[in-house]
Structure 1
């Protein structure tokens, strides 16, 4: 299966580009949780966008894209790393009846925001938060790039049950390009259909669009799914919650289970696990407190 990101550049004009297509990676993500069609499409498009934009990571770290809303769709999040790994998840009202053709604005409701976070392994985190502008992930990102990065960018995204695809064209900063040339290359890119984006590899897409002025194409990079969750990280989270809260939950239920939103891994901590984690019998303490209250 094709899980590749391909860079290209035009020698005749200061325009760079990226093509991405992910099949196995995407199927791995959607197999973990049932997403309604409209939610799945939006998440897949954001996954493709994350794979495209993370190509600019200069340092070891992670690019996180989030779309947050107050409607049926609460959160889309994609994490893409400098090691060419990605993961993605969505949170939404699972009781709602969601139309297959619902657009992003309908799903998010009012006051939606787009959050982009750069999280280097070493150094300070950077985060930008802007209101959502546009009814699709691609439009939203193009508006963000124009406003925040002052870079003219064309983005096309697509997703279905089996694959996600994306194409990005961007004017190189600090280099002159006449508007007619930029208009010409983006007009060609706009003829690309979602079906072609999902089913054609980079070589065929670029020939289909730019055979008259072919770009220089670089060796493709392989993308992989990877989740960074671990039992150790969940243990750290429980420690932050505190012995009182965790002990009370285990005293009542017998154990506590934390599920990873990204890979659906289940981490269960029983009474022995929790007491060992806190270095004391927090469960017995909370059982005695419960008896006192009664």
Structure 2
């Protein structure tokens, strides 16, 4: 295994299709992008796991949106893990990397830092938002928290909102390279039955948790056999095969699905990215009056803002922000 081949597939999404099964999918490898997301914060292990899983789901789902669009994933609950928020920014130009960012908000006093992650979300909602253009209302789809993982929630979302049988198989963790360098690695596969083969579901309720629709509710008998076979094959994958880097994604697809006639498309590179800036902070404060800005001013006579995603800190003169701003002073850090 050479360093060059490792770099070639790290932080990429490889779209594919199984021609003999009428199934499409994506194979994801995350390395530096996930490491950059998690290194911005000192999260306890339970929160790290939720952020990692949410980032993977966002990357795999986001790969289908159009250039310059934005896809956001939000998980809100009444447990100690209150919020997981992620954003996927599609590239503005074909061939450029897509960008992804993520962060979490949690109640440290109630959190079991090393306990199971998913139960600490509690009851709540799983939402996907797609922003097409600035100024337009985003598309929003919401389903309840269900199952035993964020992947289960995503599968339930696609069954309810899109009526598409969907399966995620994800793994992630820290690896140590020769020399002691430690970093996050993640890998996963998303399967989705092609929409033209999925019947429209009528009536109320499904066979899933709380009456939610499940993949079996969306498939004809023939399609169900293909779907079951592909899922059985996916269940045979090993964690080390998913995260790599010794097994290339194209090789893995052949290992798993060679009888299903896999066809691959152009891979999409990924990187960590955050579009926050002083200009955006000033724009967000432009709706406030001098009185409002006065309430935001700290004891040192400054208005400050911190980006939850990347940790950037902005330090501004209150006289230069808000409706009645006198002009930017250029102070930021």
Do the structures match in fold with TM over 0.5?
yes
In the alignment, what sits opposite 1:27? 35
In the alignment, what sits opposite 1:4? 12
Q: RMSD of aligned C-alpha atoms?
A: 2.0
Q: Residue 58 of structure 1 is aligned with which of 40, 56, 66? A: 66
Q: Residue 121 of structure 2 is aligned with which of 62, 83, 108? A: 108
2:233 matches 1:188 = yes
Q: Residue 171 of structure 2 is aligned with which of 152, 158, 162? A: 158
| Residues 20 and 261 in structure 2, CA contact (< 8 A), matched pair in contact too | no
| Residues 22 and 163 in structure 1, CA contact (< 8 A), matched pair in contact too | yes
Shift of the 250–147 alpha-carbon distance from structure 1 to 2, 3 Å rule, reads closer
| Between structures 1 and 2, the one with greater helix share | 1
Alignment of 1:92-107 (within 5 A): 92-104=106-118, 106-107=119-120
* Cα distance in structure 2, aligned partners of 1:204 and 1:23: 19
| Residues 18 and 257 in structure 2, CA contact (< 8 A), matched pair in contact too | no
Residues 77-120 of structure 1 show CA distances to partners (whole Å, capped at 9, x for unaligned) of: 1111221111111111234452424131x2112x3111110111
* Cα distance in structure 1, aligned partners of 2:232 and 2:284: 49
2:308 matches 1:264 = no
In the alignment, what sits opposite 1:239? 286
Q: The residue matched to 1:13 in structure 2 has which SS?
A: coil
Q: The residue matched to 2:195 in structure 1 has which SS?
A: coil
Once the two structures are overlaid, the 10-residue window that deviates more, 124-133 or 212-221, is: 212-221
Residues 127-173 of structure 1 show CA distances to partners (whole Å, capped at 9, x for unaligned) of: 12221111201111111111221111111122223122221111111
Uncovered stretches (5+) of structure 1, i.e. residues with no partner: 282-294
In the alignment, what sits opposite 2:205? none
2:154 matches 1:141 = yes
Alignment of 1:174-253 (within 5 A): 174-175=196-197, 178-199=223-244, 200-250=247-297, 252-253=299-300
Shift of the 194–37 alpha-carbon distance from structure 1 to 2, 3 Å rule, reads farther
2:129 matches 1:121 = no
> What is the Cα deviation at residue 40 of structure 1?
0.8
Q: The residue matched to 2:256 in structure 1 has which SS?
A: helix
* TM-score where L is the length of structure 2: 0.77
* TM-score where L is the length of structure 1: 0.87
Residues 248-269 of structure 1 show CA distances to partners (whole Å, capped at 9, x for unaligned) of: 4436332232110110000011
Once the two structures are overlaid, the 10-residue window that deviates more, 92-101 or 256-265, is: 92-101
Uncovered stretches (5+) of structure 2, i.e. residues with no partner: 1-6, 92-97, 175-183, 199-221, 327-333
> What is the Cα deviation at residue 275 of structure 1?
0.8
In the alignment, what sits opposite 2:193? 171
Shift of the 280–101 alpha-carbon distance from structure 1 to 2, 3 Å rule, reads closer
Aligned length: 276
* Cα distance in structure 2, aligned partners of 1:120 and 1:24: 27
* Cα distance in structure 1, aligned partners of 2:27 and 2:307: 30
In the alignment, what sits opposite 2:204? none
Once the two structures are overlaid, the 10-residue window that deviates more, 25-34 or 115-124, is: 115-124
